[in-house]
Structure 1
Amino acid sequence: MFILHDGPPYANGSLHIGHALNKILKDIINRYKVLHGYKVNYIPGWDCHGLPIELKALKELRGVDKSSLTPLQIRDVAKKSALEALEIQRKEFISWGIMGDWKNPYRTLGYIYRQDKPVYWSPSSRTALAEAELEYRDDHQSNSVYVKLPVINSTLNSQEGLKDNLYILIWTTTPWTLPANQAVAINPNIEYSIVCPNNDILTIQNNYIIATKRLDALQKILGTELNVKFTFKGQQLIGTTYIHPISEKQCKIIDASHITEESGTGLVHTAPGHGMEDYEACKKFDIPTFCPVDEYGIFTSEVGESTFEGKSVLTDGTLAVIEYLKKRNSLIKEEKFKHKYPYDWRTKKPIILRATPQWFANVEAIKQRAIELLEDVKMVPKSARYRLEQFTLSRSEWCISRQRSWGVPIPVFYESETDVPLLTDSSVEHIIEIFKKHGSDGWWKLDDQELLASEYKNNGKTYRKGNDTMDVWFDSGVSWTFILEQTKKKDFKTIADLYLEGSDQHRGWFQSSLLTSVAINDKVPYSTLITHGFVMDEQGQKMSKSLGNVINPSTVIKGGKNEPAYGVDVLRLWVASSEYVNDINIGKNIMSQVGENIRKYRNTARFMLGNLNNFKYNQLVEYEELDLIDKYMLHETYNFGKNIKIFYDEYAFNKVVQALNNLSNVLLSAFYFDIVKDRLYADHITSQSRRNVLTVLYHILNIYTISLSPIVPYLAEEIYDNYKNIRPKENDSVFKLGWYDLDEKWNNQLLQQEWNTLKHLRGEVNQLLEAARKDKLIKSSLEANVELYVNSSELLHLLQNHDATISSSLEMIENCSNNTLIYTKKVDLSGGICKIIIKRASLFKCPRCWNYNAQTEGELCKRCENVLEIMNK
């Protein structure tokens, strides 16, 4: 069995070209495995939960006050929207020729703890976000401020002249977090200085504490010379108290190893309710978190200053804080600061960090084990390993709770008086049984008492159910459990053979699947991981509606305004032709070239099918009876077949396409077909020479069709349908044939060596013939005789064995006359020197075979006379 586990796309809209890239790559692999006799387990999946679907469903509601909707009403609307989108996508996937169990898709409908700590919070979505749901913009502008904070209790105050005029100087790009300030952090190992300004930009009599290495930078930023009074180690600042920037309370300076001298002042405003590092630093000193910001990113009444309350922290709330600092004479400098900042990847709006009670998975406890187990996973490309490892190692925890209605509810209760969570094996098992009867909607349909396990109903405590739902990455990250359920796997090293998704899934589904499987099974969920890039336009630009460069799969297949209809196989061949591990391009010129390749495949197959008409399997000629050129072509076919299997096994589909193009255009059309046309068209229909060619064409067609089939199944089925009656056993599909077998007798290395010499010679002969045509001395190569003069018996023997393969009008001579000489050339070959002589044909054109072999004008050549004589008997 071969298991390719499908990464579930969101069921929230039309399919785009990236979906085509992803699903077609998977289908090529699955079809290849089918041909090798595998039972393929590929169950398409959809992610039906999550914020994108909920927002889309709410957007579609017209004339409804969305704030008045209950969670159950929101879930009904979201479910309907998701299932409608799922059906549209399902039909389109099937139309792309994607094989799968479409009638039975899957749908996502000791390490866990709860903590009140800062998380990435999206005011625009009103929910917590995981790191994987962020995207960073480099052009974000913040209002940065330098603020002075009075020192009121420090050993430094005892220094002469510092009793009442000593200040900490801090810098922040988030002024709105200053009301939540709980400490200032310093590095005890950094050298600090007390400095005083040299002019009235700062108040002259004031003294400021800064990191010594920041002196030069701050002089430029503040526009004044700063005179150093004395220096000291940061350790001396620990325990110093200062007055809060907004309120009048006293706070302390604490030590924190993450503080550097790279930016700011070396003293860092610390708000544990709004920063991860701030939270960890304050946690060591039992400093509580404080977060006066609600789910909309609005200052609450807890902020303590009425002019801030009700304002958005990202806009007017920031301006209000800055204005307040000015009035208190605490603001030293304000300036715009351009920097990288996280945005909600769905709404494309900035996020904040906000402390709220959330549920977390402890990644720290399992990530090293996950990295160890990844060592046995094959990665395509190899560089993907480092990327996935780094994303995994960079996480210490995973916020798995979300404040939305559409999702899987977290089955937790809270004690009404203490808010202590109730999450035990028995309480969860009871919820599971309820979900089996009512689905996850039961969490909202039933009251708290019905949801509570019986053992907790009369224990003297009252409980309320929680309203959080599961992060969709956790939801989809455990989708491997569906495989275990379907396949009944018990003893396994990995769950699925392959995961294949875009490079963004290193921080998404690849990682969430890894972490959940390692936590539960102590095993990785995949043995091979393939990553593809993104689709760009023809110039390598990202597709967007504003640029007008979006190409939809349906337009490629069915055509559009002034756009040709290429069909499904061209779309699939475009995917296979691409070096998909990188970003790939699509556009009119690219699709036109891919369409031309399909046309060549079709013409190549048509030539073979046309000649094999009425040919039967029992007419095949044994290998030993074939002509040398036919044996050589089987040798090339052997190499082709071997390489194709290697390329498919390595998932190098672009190399498969290159090999198919080379076989079609170079080895067949320009070489073998050109040489054997004379035998096919002019020799007797039952002659040995013609049957030799047909035998080779039969073998090539079989291997050619099977090699094409994973990539262009519609064309392959069409080809097979036209020659299946020739085969010894007729099947109704090319995918029931199995992979082809290659006869080891075809692997003839001696012929290969001989043909290295002969191809060189043939190329030289063709160049001379082309020169004669360009000079209009002959109209076609048939009007010329080619004579070869050689200086060694070894070369003479080689040419005599292969005479008809150099030119159809070839003679080996010892002496030549110059009366009809057109071109001549000497060529160095392995085994000797060959002199090529091109002459005008001395005989007449045969009206049947068109060769210049007839003795009399208008009469047949001897070969054609004999053929017609046999036919007339």
Structure 2
Amino acid sequence: MDYGKTLNLLQTDFPMRGNLPQAEPNMQKHWAETNIYEQVKNKRKGKPKFILHDGPPYANGDIHIGHALNKVLKDIVVRFKSLQGFDAPFVPGWDTHGLPIEQAIANSGRADRKKMSALDFRKLCAEYALEWVEKQKGQFQRLAVRGDWDSPYITLNPKYEAQQIRLFGEMVNKGYIYKGLKPVYWSPSSESALAEAEIEYREKTSPSIYVAFEVRDGKGKLPADAAVVIWTTTPWTLPANLGISVHPDFDYVLVEADGRKFVVAEGLLESVAKEVGWEETKIIDRMKGTALEYVLCKHPFYDRDSLVMTGEHVTLEAGTGCVHTAPGHGEEDFAIGQKYNIGVLSPIDDQGHFTSEAPGFEGQFYDSANKAITEKLKQSGHLLHLGFIKHQYAHDWRTKKPVIFRATEQWFASIDAFREAMLEEIKNVEWTPNWGEIRLHNMIADRGDWCISRQRVWGVPIPIFYCRQCNEPLVNESTIGHVAAMFETEGSNAWFSRSEAELLPTGTACGKCGHGEFRKETDIMDVWFDSGSSHMAVLDTREDLRSPADMYLEGSDQYRGWFNSSLITSVAVKGHAPYKAVLSHGFTLDGEGRKMSKSLGNVVDPLKVCNTLGADILRLWVSSVDYQQDVRLSDGILQQTAEVYRKIRNTLRFFLGNLSGFDPKNDRFAPEQLSELDRYALIRLERLKDRVLKAYERYEFHTVYQAVHHFLAVEMSAFYLDIMKDRLYADATRDPLRKQTQYVMYESLVTITQLISPVLPHTADEVWKYIPGVEEPSVQLTVYSPVNEKVFDEKLEKKWEKLIDVRDEVLKALEEARKGKIIGNSLSAHVHLYPSVETAELLRQFDDLPKLFIVSDVTVHDSNDETPEGATVLKGLAVRVDVADGEKCERCWIVTPETGTNEKHPTLCNRCAEVVEQLS
């Protein structure tokens, strides 16, 4: 007789191999056909809401691994909240205006911007953006991000643009919007002003020059033959110089060097002398910075004065302590220039070339002019030293080209009136990680007014008109309401297709001169104003959402971006933050901690990962990392993740394969009906559930990953299931003990499938289809049951923890015996234990130690017995391994003297013979 066929072997159609690249698209097709998003939404209707508001990615290019990290994190949160019982809709969005799309159209060769109308160019931009919205939509869906993909929000949609205009109007009404001449970040490569959020810092080599400004009027403090020494790394700003700033409290010295007299800060004299090459310096006079106030110096190459002023912004960190001041090219320069009323000069045009206000350099590109300016200084004897330095310098984050500070007339949002309100609101937000609060607090506390105007075409126009008679700006509730209503039906293209008369209410007249003809503003809004309006344009307008959102979740760069702009606009018009909680994540690096770049060949393409390993592997990686820091990813890391996935899948398959004959409705047990080991396994399951649900609550997904992996690989596979294999395979199908173990496995299977569902949605739904007795067609429609604390028994847990420690020691001794050729399979062993008194007392509480150690026989010797020679001594326990007496049962492989005593089944032990007879 083939006794192998009488064993209860694995029976399941659940495949061992996931074949995720092929299986996942089929699963997603099924979700789409059954509209799982709407099913979940309807199931949770009327429940408390949890709103995670999607920060809109930019509709330009395929998604990268940073997109994948972000969207998967969001999806894990939303799926978890849904399984908690919340109504957790997810409305994805896209940012669709701005320079990159303009550049893409220009670089594509499809259009010459300068030869076509703004309206035609905008139509090309819109088509391009919407094409990428559709492509990225499919790519995000491939990652199994569940959401309302049929009704996303898009910033170019007319209703969105209309709400943005209304928000702008409310800020105007509250007096927060103004036009002014101020230095702003200006990108010559983009020909536009930039916000601070659009700046990135890159290494740049710049000239480092020391320049002498000769004294014209020393005010009795400095002799006529003295010169004030300044230091700058931007020689091109010297044509705009109108002053020199010194610190009022610093000590300054008049020194004689190289036959000339110079003024520098005393604290920097040594470094200046070394840099300039002064071999000997003699201090002639010493004075405070306040004494130098209103001294007049001569501009080094123009016939105009340079006023000495005092300012707290001057430091002794570098330079000379005398700061070259060009109010048209720096924030601090502008501020002190306003204080002393010296004017503003910015002789640079939109493309970065000098204008006629910089005689001698007109038409030269500012950066190229550094050489000519330095040469002019050298010829006139004003250049004391020329060197070069490498430093971090502001660049346009889109074009990657350097930017400059340039004073131009721009529209600004003033935040001073509600800055304190924003700082108070920041305190009320829950921050993960908690340093996010300090980071955004400092940014808001220190930031200046927000430059919201851009000199571009592709964006939402600034809805302001100018009187053609007196040039007075026109913007009020009536004009805003009229423009918003028109945008709501026609979109912002109406600004370009309609005349001023059509865009304004009938009978509109200038409030200053009464004139009735106007011209339109040509600037558009900063794209951060677009996305920063989403709380009003999306959360306030959709029935399935609400404001404020429960969470904003983005990369840590958004503290200066979306978190920042959204907070400003929301507090400005609503008085509160747009979010209750903010969670931020780090950036993705390669396996060696380097930034990913195509040139290094270390870029990981998320779509390629989906097509080779599967989206669930990528999602499992996301859950495995501490995303609050920068995270690493490489092919090797993905292979390790795939191995963990395989172990998870195989353990779930083992559960499924051992449930044949189990009836979920009738084969249920109260804790007191179970064996101690089964009770212990259920306790550990509830402990896992408690830990995982709390980790999800804290958004610590790496803890979820570690806990589930450890439970399945160690507590289940290496312990409980290892021990129970004999019971599951060899006991009678209806044996009560076997049914108890099946019950534990069933509970574990259902619980773990639910727990992993937010991370591994494809696998969880696939497993769910094979679980007998479940009511819902998808695990996504279920709700977590509360942790059953009634099963907890700390006394029992401690007891089994000690027993597991003993088991670990015995397994080590068995391994040594295997290496020593004493035994082969562990079932051929007879284990002799020589325990301490405490351990002996523990072991005698169990009558089935051979099952625990997976051996054929165990003898627990008296604690007073002498430890025999050759025994393995481990942690207070001596173990001797002998070959078990008897014959090996052909069916269960246990060695026992009973084998051979049954005449009908001479190769079986009594237990197996009895089971086989029952089967017969």
Q: TM-score, normalization: structure 2?
A: 0.88
Q: Tell me if the contact between 1:615 and 1:726 (Cα under 8 Å) persists in the aligned partners.
A: no
Q: Do 1:42 and 1:101's aligned partners in 2 also have CA atoms closer than 8 Å? A: yes
Cα 1:417/1:243, change in 2 over 3 Å: farther
Instruction: Give the structure 2 partner of residue 764 of structure 1.
Output: 809
Q: Does 1:411 align with 2:447?
A: no
Q: Pick from 306, 313, 322 the counterpart of residue 258 of structure 1.
A: 313
Q: Write the letter of the residue equivalent to 1:262.
A: E
What amino acid is aligned across from residue 152 of structure 1 in structure 2? R
Equivalent residue, structure 2, for 1:570: 617
Query: What pairs up with 1:742-761 in 2 under 5 angstroms?
Result: 742-761=787-806
Distance 1:737 1:183, change over 3 A: same
Query: Secondary structure of 2:845's match?
Result: helix
Q: Which residue of 1 aligns with 2:207?
A: 143
Deviation at 1:851, TM superposition (A): 1.0
1:616-658 CA-partner distances (Å, limit 9, x unpaired)? 1112233322111111111111111111111111111111111
Distance (whole Å) between structure 2 residues aligned to residue 59 and residue 706 of structure 1: 49
Secondary structure of 1:156's aligned partner: coil
The worse-fitting range, judged by mean Cα deviation, of 114-123 and 426-435 is 426-435
Counterpart for residue 559 of structure 2: 506
Give secondary structure in 2 for the equivalent of 1:230. Answer: strand
Matched, 1:98 2:145: yes
Question: In the TM superposition, what is the alpha-carbon distance from 1:510 to its structure 2 partner?
Answer: 0.9
Contact 1:10 1:53 in 2 (8 A): no
**Separation in structure 2 between the aligned mates of residue 827 and residue 267 of structure 1, nearest angstrom:** 75
Residue 354 of structure 1, CA deviation: 0.6
User: Which of the residues 438, 443, 446 maps onto 2:498?
Assistant: 446
Q: Matched residues in 2 for 1:649 and 1:108: separation? A: 31
CA separation in 1, counterparts of 2:139 and 2:676? 49
The equivalent position to 2:361 in structure 1, one of 303, 308, 312, is 308
Counterparts of 1:170-181 in structure 2, within 5 Å, are 170-181=230-241
| Alpha-carbon offset, residue 677 of structure 1 | 1.0
- Identify the residue that residue 78 of structure 1 maps to in structure 2: 125
Matches within 5 A, 1:43-192: 43-62=91-110, 64-109=111-156, 110-137=175-202, 139-156=203-220, 162-163=223-224, 165-192=225-252
Work out the CA distance in 1 between the residues paired with 2:240 and 2:469. 27
Match of 2:31? none
Q: How does 1:846-857 map to 2 (within 5 A)?
A: 846-853=889-896, 855-856=898-899
| Residue equivalent to 2:441 | 389
For 1:466, the aligned partner's letter is E
What secondary structure, in the 3-state scheme, does the structure 2 residue paired with 1:410 have?
A: coil
Residue pairs, 1:223-238, within 5 angstroms: 223-224=277-278, 225-238=280-293
Contact kept in structure 2, 1:364 and 1:395, CA below 8 Å = no
Identity in percent: 41
Q: Distance in 1 between matches of 2:295 and 2:788?
A: 86
Distance, in Å, in 2 between the alignment partners of 1:237 and 1:839 is 98
Question: Alpha-carbon deviation of 1:748?
Answer: 1.7
Alignment of 1:366-385 (within 5 A): 366-385=418-437
Deviation at 1:335, TM superposition (A): 2.0
Equivalent residue for 1:842, pick from 867, 870, 885: 885
Do the aligned partners of 1:629 and 1:805 also contact (CA within 8 Å) in 2?
no
Range that drifts further, 99-108 or 247-256 = 247-256
| Matched residue SS, 1:170 | strand
C-alpha offsets along residues 74-109 of structure 1, whole Å, 9 cap, x if unaligned?
211111111001100001111111000101111122
Alpha-carbon distance change, 223 to 814 in structure 1, aligned in 2, over 3 angstroms: closer
Mapped pair 1:430 → 2:482: yes
Q: Aligned partners of 2:402, 2:875: CA distance in 1, in Å?
A: 71
Contact 1:822 1:838 in 2 (8 A): no
Partner secondary structure for residue 342 of structure 1: strand
Q: Deviations over 1:57-77 (max 9, x none)?
A: 221124x43322332222111
> 1:256/1:744 Cα in 2 relative to 1: closer, same or farther (>3 Å)?
closer
Matches of 2:789 and 2:263 in 1, distance apart? 83
- Relative distance call for 1:672 and 1:334 in structure 2 (3 A) is same
Q: Which amino acid aligns with 2:436?
A: A
Provide, for residues 233-254 of structure 1, a one-character-per-residue CA deviation record: whole Å limited to 9, x for no partner. 2223222223233321234322
User: Equivalent residue of 2:193, what SS?
Assistant: strand
Q: Name the aligned partner's letter for residue 521 of structure 1.
A: K
Q: Which has the higher contact order (CA 8 A, sep 6+)?
A: 2
2:822 alignment counterpart: 777
**Displacement, 1:853?**
2.5
CA displacement, residues 381-403 of structure 1 (integer Å, 9 cap, x when unaligned): 12222222222222021111111
1:814 to partner: Cα distance: 5.6
- Indicate whether 1:481 and 2:533 are aligned: no
SS in 2 for 1:41: coil
Residue 16 (structure 2) aligns with: none
| Residue equivalent to 1:561 | none
Going from structure 1 to structure 2, the CA distance change for 1:813 and 1:194 (only over 3 Å counts) comes to closer
- Quick one: structure 1 residues 440 and 100, their matched pair in 2 at CA, closer, same or farther if it must change by over 3 Å? same
State the secondary structure of the residue aligned to 2:121.
Answer: helix
Structure 1 residues 75 and 814: CA distance shift in structure 2, 3 A: closer
Cα 1:514–1:823, aligned 2, differ >3 Å: closer, same or farther? farther
Match of 2:270, SS state, is: helix
CA contact (8 A) 1:843 1:854 kept: yes
CA distance in 2, matches of 1:413, 1:431: 11
Change (3 A) 1:609 1:796: closer
Shift of residue 584, structure 1, vs aligned partner: 0.8
Q: Deviations over 1:785-834 (max 9, x none)?
A: 22445657843542337664244534445689x9xx996356667xxxx6
- Who is 2:42 aligned against? none
Counterpart residue number, 2:402 = 350
Instruction: Point out where structure 2 has 5 or more consecutive residues left out of the alignment.
Output: 1-48, 157-174, 901-905
CA 1:697–1:103 in structure 2 vs 1: closer, same or farther (change >3 Å)?
Answer: same
2-side partners of 1:233 and 1:765: how far apart?
82
Instruction: Check if 1:610 corresponds to 2:657.
Output: yes
Q: Does the 8 Å contact 1:179/1:245 carry over to 2?
A: no
Q: Deviations over 1:270-309 (max 9, x none)?
A: 1111111111001112222111110000011222x1x311
Letter in 2 for 1:868: V
Aligned to 2:300: 245
Query: Could you tell me which residue of structure 2 aligns to residue 562 of structure 1?
Result: none
Within 5 Å, which residues of 2 pair with 1:428-827?
428-457=480-509, 459-460=514-515, 462-487=517-542, 495-558=548-611, 565-617=612-664, 618-723=666-771, 725-727=772-774, 730-788=775-833, 791=837, 794-795=841-842, 797-800=844-847, 804-812=851-859, 824-825=871-872
User: How many equivalent residue pairs?
Assistant: 840
- Cα distance, 1:441–1:859 mapped onto 2, change above 3 Å: same
Secondary structure at the aligned position of 1:755 is classed as helix
**Structure 1 residue aligned with 2:271:** 217
**TM-score normalised per structure 1:** 0.92
Contact 2:142–2:610 at 8 Å: present in 1 too? Answer: no
What displacement does 1:839 show? 2.1
Question: Which blocks of at least 5 consecutive residues in structure 1 are unaligned?
Answer: 559-564
Cα separation, partners in 2 of 1:782 and 1:462, compared to 1, 3 Å: same
Letter paired with 1:735: Q
- Structure 2 counterpart of 1:42, which letter? F
Alpha-carbon contact 2:827-2:854 (below 8 Å) kept:
no
Alpha-carbon offset, residue 779 of structure 1? 1.1
- Equivalent in the alignment of 1:866: 914
Counterpart code for 2:230: I
SS at match of 1:475: helix
Give CA-to-partner distance per residue, 1:19-61, whole Å, 9 cap, x none: 1111011111111111111111210011001111221122112
| Alignment partners' CA distance in 2, 1:754 and 1:222 | 79
Deviations 1:397-435 (A, max 9, x none): 111111111111100112335433222222211211221
Q: For structure 1, which segment, 185-194 or 774-783, has the greater mean C-alpha deviation from structure 2 after superposition?
A: 185-194
Q: Is the 8 A contact 1:47 1:107 kept in 2?
A: yes
State the alpha-carbon separation in 2 of the partners of residues 337 and 651 from structure 1. Answer: 44
Contact map agreement 1:143 1:174 (CA 8 A) in 2: yes
Q: What RMSD over aligned residues (CA atoms) do the two structures have, in Å? A: 2.3
Q: Structure 1 residue 274 and structure 2 residue 329: aligned?
A: yes
